[in-house]
């Protein structure tokens, strides 16, 4: 018996609703149905085969090819890419790569509406990049587990080319220059030359892998690429993320010609002819028959004797112990063979200092020595660092670094910091001197500079005196070297040793 067929061949509403619910619930899940087929029972298996075929017929049970090459429901990150002219960027291959795990790479091609997407599951920061037909994009995003919608726009492109400069005889040939998380990577030629093409306008990090890990660390630069110029900051230790802008004294600005920017990337030598390193963690008492005093052991292996008038007070330093000097406490460091040289033309001193009561000297004019070294007659070739206020333009306690050939140095011989000394806080201080040019850096930033006129120092045979001038201060990890540290090196060391946290 044949059932009558309605002229309206569409199924009844209830059947349509049922199939809609089933289709939505199944979402063409072929995988779920396949797993059911493995169950025992021929009748059940035949029924499931029929149901599987029916679903395949009704909804095509092959995932709809949308952005990311997967069904739209599985895209955890999706977005629209727009070209520089404002139109949809069609048929553009776009990449998303985990910034810390290069094997976590996702690739998609935008559709006619510029749509793209990725099925990302692992949390972290990702880099979005692409370039095509004179346009490119570079963006970063953070995936935290929630679906992420993006809207990205391509820019015109530029080329940067330049040279990797090493301080010494090492060859730059094995180094690479590139942008992390992208395919923009260039191998450095034996001459130091490198080139990166099709870079988008914007701000991103350039990384340089060290060609000689015995002498150089990997480094990172911040590059701001504009239409007709660029800014370059660095080098910084690899992986350092800093939120505050770098001081302009470290910036390098250049002009682009015909879409090409010429840049120079210096690498930082990890050894700047360091002579002495005092971590303050190794102090030995002198034998009782030698009087009251202590040996401050130098980490470079020198047997430097430091004599304290009082038993030194140890405090918690930046890394390990620190030594505190209060009021008349002082140390006299025998620097035989160190600063007693025939002709010293360069010098660097770096360390951590904390001043516990600088405000106590904020009234009136004063100058209190922190470190000082003089010749035998006390009137020639002096070098030192002081805390001053009420003079040389310092209306509040500031650091002053001097190198002169007269006693009682006046302002014309002092590099005075433009930053006040904070009370009770550790600061990273670097003092450099090269043929008369004295400079002060605080927390990686150049804060004072002057030409003292003293081109070299000779026979500074007196000990190096620390403290003893009424101040209450602490110091930790002090280093002396026979080479001037550049502004870039100071900033690099600040981030290398502290991560820029002071």
List, for residues 40-93, the tens digit of each pLDDT value.
444 444 554 455 455 444 444 433 333 444 444 567 999 999 999 999 999 999
From 111, 125, 40, select the one nearest 80 (Cα to Cα). Answer: 111
Specify the pTM: 0.62
Query: What does the alpha-carbon distance between residue 502 and residue 443 come to, in Å, rounded to a whole number?
Result: 7
> Residue ranges of the alpha helices (H) in 389-470?
none
pLDDT of residue 347: 83
pLDDT of residue 482: 80
Query: What does the alpha-carbon distance between residue 392 and residue 370 come to, in Å, rounded to a whole number?
Result: 17
DSSP 146: S
User: At which residue do the structure tokens 């650091």 appear?
Assistant: 399
Q: Indicate if the alpha-carbon torsion angle 29, 31, 34, 36 is positive or negative.
A: negative
Class of domain 274-498: mainly beta
Is 156-266's fold the same as 274-498's? no
Phi and psi at 145, nearest 5°, equal 110, -20
From 52, 69, 68, select the one nearest 60 (Cα to Cα). Answer: 52
Q: What pairs with residue 222 in β-bridges?
A: 205, 233
Helix (H, G, I), strand (E, B) or coil at 119: coil
- Quote the tokens at residue 66: 């949308």
CATH architecture assigned to 156-266 = Sandwich (2.60)
- Quote the tokens at residue 392: 């040389």
Intervals of the chain under pLDDT 50: 1-45, 48-49, 52, 55-72, 241-250, 341, 500
pLDDT of residue 102: 79
Tally helices (H) and strands (E) across the chain. Answer: 4, 33
From 262, 269, 252, 267, select the one nearest 172 (Cα to Cα). Answer: 267
DSSP 378: S
From 114, 60, 57, select the one nearest 85 (Cα to Cα). Answer: 114
The full set of domain ranges for the chain reads 20-59, 67-153, 156-266, 274-498
1 CB-near residues (< 8 Å, 6+ apart)? none
- Quote the tokens at residue 256: 């682009």
- Are 161 and 177 a contacting pair, CB within 8 Å? no
The full 3-state SS of 227-238, as one line of letters, equals: CCEEEEEEEEEC
Phi and psi at 295, nearest 5°, equal -95, 125
Query: What does the alpha-carbon distance between residue 296 and residue 290 come to, in Å, rounded to a whole number?
Result: 15
The full length of the chain comes to 502
pLDDT of residue 339: 52
Give the H/E segment covering residue 366. Answer: strand 366-373
Q: What pairs with residue 260 in β-bridges?
A: 159, 257
- Are 283 and 312 a contacting pair, CB within 8 Å? yes
The full 3-state SS of 196-210, as one line of letters, equals: EEEEECEEEEEEECC
Using one digit for the tens of pLDDT, what is the confidence trace for 427-438? 999 999 888 889
From the CB of residue 257, how many other CB atoms can be counted at a distance below 10 Å?
9
pLDDT of residue 144: 92
120 CB-near residues (< 8 Å, 6+ apart)? 76, 77, 96, 106, 126, 143
- Sheet with 414-420, strands from edge to edge, namely 283-285, 294-296, 305-308, 330-333, 464-467, 366-373, 382-389, 398-404, 414-420
DSSP 300: T
The CATH topology of domain 67-153 is Immunoglobulin-like (2.60.40)
Query: What does the alpha-carbon distance between residue 52 and residue 37 come to, in Å, rounded to a whole number?
Result: 9
DSSP string covering 9-69, please? -SPPHHHHHHHHHHHHHHTT-HHHHHHHHTSS-HHHHHHHHHHHHHHHHHH--S----GGG
Could you check whether the bond before residue 235 is cis, i.e. omega within 30 degrees of 0? yes
Query: What does the alpha-carbon distance between residue 217 and residue 237 come to, in Å, rounded to a whole number?
Result: 7
pLDDT of residue 366: 82
């Amino acid at each position: 018996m044949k059932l009558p067929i309605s002229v309206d061949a569409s199924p009844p509403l209830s059947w349509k609703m049922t199939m809609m619910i089933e289709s939505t619930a199944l979402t063409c899940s072929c995988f779920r149905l396949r797993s059911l087929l493995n169950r025992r029972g021929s009748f059940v298996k035949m029924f499931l085969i029929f149901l599987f075929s029916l679903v395949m017929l009704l909804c095509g049970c092959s995932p709809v090819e949308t952005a990311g090459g997967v069904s739209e429901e599985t895209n955890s990150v999706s977005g629209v890419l727009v070209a520089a002219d404002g139109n949809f960027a069609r048929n553009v291959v776009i990449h998303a790569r985990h910034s810390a795990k290069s094997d976590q790479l996702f690739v998609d091609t935008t559709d006619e509406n510029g749509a793209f997407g990725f099925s990302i599951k692992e949390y972290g920061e990702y880099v979005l990049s692409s370039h095509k037909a004179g346009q490119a994009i570079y963006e970063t995003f953070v995936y935290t587990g929630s679906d992420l919608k993006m809207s990205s726009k391509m820019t015109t492109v530029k080329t940067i080319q330049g040279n990797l400069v090493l301080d010494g005889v090492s060859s730059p040939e094995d180094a690479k220059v590139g942008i992390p998380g992208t395919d923009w990577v260039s191998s450095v030629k034996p001459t130091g030359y490198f080139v990166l093409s099709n870079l988008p306008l914007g701000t991103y990090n350039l990384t340089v892998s060290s060609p000689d890990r015995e002498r150089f660390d990997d480094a990172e630069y911040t590059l701001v690429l504009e239409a007709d110029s660029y800014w370059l900051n660095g080098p910084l230790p690899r992986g350092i993320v800093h939120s505050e802008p770098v001081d302009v004294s470290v910036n390098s600005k250049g002009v682009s010609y015909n879409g090409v920017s010429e840049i120079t990337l210096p690498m930082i030598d990890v050894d700047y002819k360091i002579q002495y390193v005092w971590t303050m963690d190794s102090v030995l008492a002198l034998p009782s028959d030698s009087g009251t005093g202590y040996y401050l052991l130098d980490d470079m292996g020198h047997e430097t004797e430091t004599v304290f008038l009082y038993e030194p007070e140890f405090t918690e330093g930046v890394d390990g112990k620190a030594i505190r000097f209060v009021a008349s406490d002082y140390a006299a460091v025998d620097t035989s063979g160190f600063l007693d040289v025939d002709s010293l033309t360069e010098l660097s001193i770096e360390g951590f200092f904390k001043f516990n009561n600088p405000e106590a000297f904020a009234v009136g004019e004063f100058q209190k020595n922190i470190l000082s070294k003089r010749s035998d007659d006390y009137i020639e070739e002096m070098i030192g660092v002081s805390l001053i206020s009420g003079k040389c333009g310092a209306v509040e306690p500031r650091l002053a670094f001097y190198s002169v050939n007269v006693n009682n140095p006046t302002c014309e011989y002092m590099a005075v910091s433009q930053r006040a000394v904070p009370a009770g806080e550790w600061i990273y201080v670097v003092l450099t001197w090269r043929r008369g040019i004295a400079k002060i850096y605080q927390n990686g930033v150049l804060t004072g500079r002057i030409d003292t006129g003293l081109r070299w120092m000779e026979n500074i045979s007196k000990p190096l005196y620390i403290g003893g001038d009424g101040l209450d201060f602490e110091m930790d990890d002090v280093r002396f070297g026979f080479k001037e540290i550049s502004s870039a090196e100071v900033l690099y060391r600040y981030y290398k040793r502290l991560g820029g946290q002071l």
